[in-house]
Chain A
Amino acid sequence: QVQLQQSGPGLVKPSQSLSLTCAISGDSVSSNSAAWNWIRQSPSRGLEWLGRTYYRSKWYNDYAVSVKSRISINPDTSKNQFSLQLNSVTPEDTAIYYCATGNYYMDVWGKGTTVTVSS
């Protein structure tokens, strides 16, 4: 049974970078059959898929167009986790951020991290 444990700060200043980590148990970030996603939820935007990383003999990433210029999702094989970095944040990036596993639909979700962008 895969479990995902999220960590990271809940408050980020405007123009700075948001960084969150998702630790994986019960599977490997390097699995050739899994994909590791970040999704956020806000009252104004609803549920919004942000991007994913996955390994198929080499590492791949897919990102939503809405954040493509600001986002980076990276695996950390030594710690069996993956991370989200979102640069140049504004108050519109205030949301609950979830990590989740799934190639198509999201099988398992982390508990979520509420991130507020405010000075």
Chain B
Amino acid sequence: EIVMTQSPATLSVSPGERASLSCRASQSISIYLAWYQQKPGQAPRLLIYGASTRATGIPPRFSGSGSGTEFTLTISSLQSEDFAVYYCQQYDNWPRTFGQGTKVEIK
């Protein structure tokens, strides 16, 4: 199965600053990558699919990039509601696998 590795585990950022989260696949997955946001006590919410396409209703400060094995989620200017855990998921192969998450916390 494809192993998804996210870094860093925790990212401390001040509101208004830019955050860059990394996701690496153990083999090439083309652009078949999704990003999710999860807040405490809630289910994950789809942010990005196809590595760079924002899901419905997701604000433009969220952007995704990358292909192959290296991917990045960028939040251009962190708002208070963006402090959460972010997960990547590959859908190039079965089973669908997720990264272990990056927690974005207030600095």
Contacts and interface: CB of A to CB of B under 8 A. Distances in A.
Contact of A47 (B45, B46, B87, B94): B87
Contacts of A98: 43-44
Interface string A10-49: 0000000000000000000000000000000000001111
User: Which label, helix, strand, loop or mixed, suits the secondary structure of the B interface?
Assistant: loop
A109 interface: yes
A2 to B, nearest CB: 12
Interface residues of B, number: 21
Contact of B46 (A65, A105, A110, A112): A105
A40 to B, nearest CB: 11
Chain A: number of interface residues, binned into ranges = 10 to 19
Interface of A: 46-49, 62, 64-65, 98, 100, 104-112
From B43, B46, B87, name the one whose CB has the most chain A CB atoms within 10 angstroms: B43
Given A98-B44, A106-B46, 5 more contacts: A49-B95, A98-B43, A105-B49, A106-B89, A111-B42
Contacts, number: 45
B45 A109 contact: yes
Given A104-B32, A105-B34, A105-B89, A49 B96 contact: yes
B95 A65 contact: yes
B67 to A, nearest CB: 16
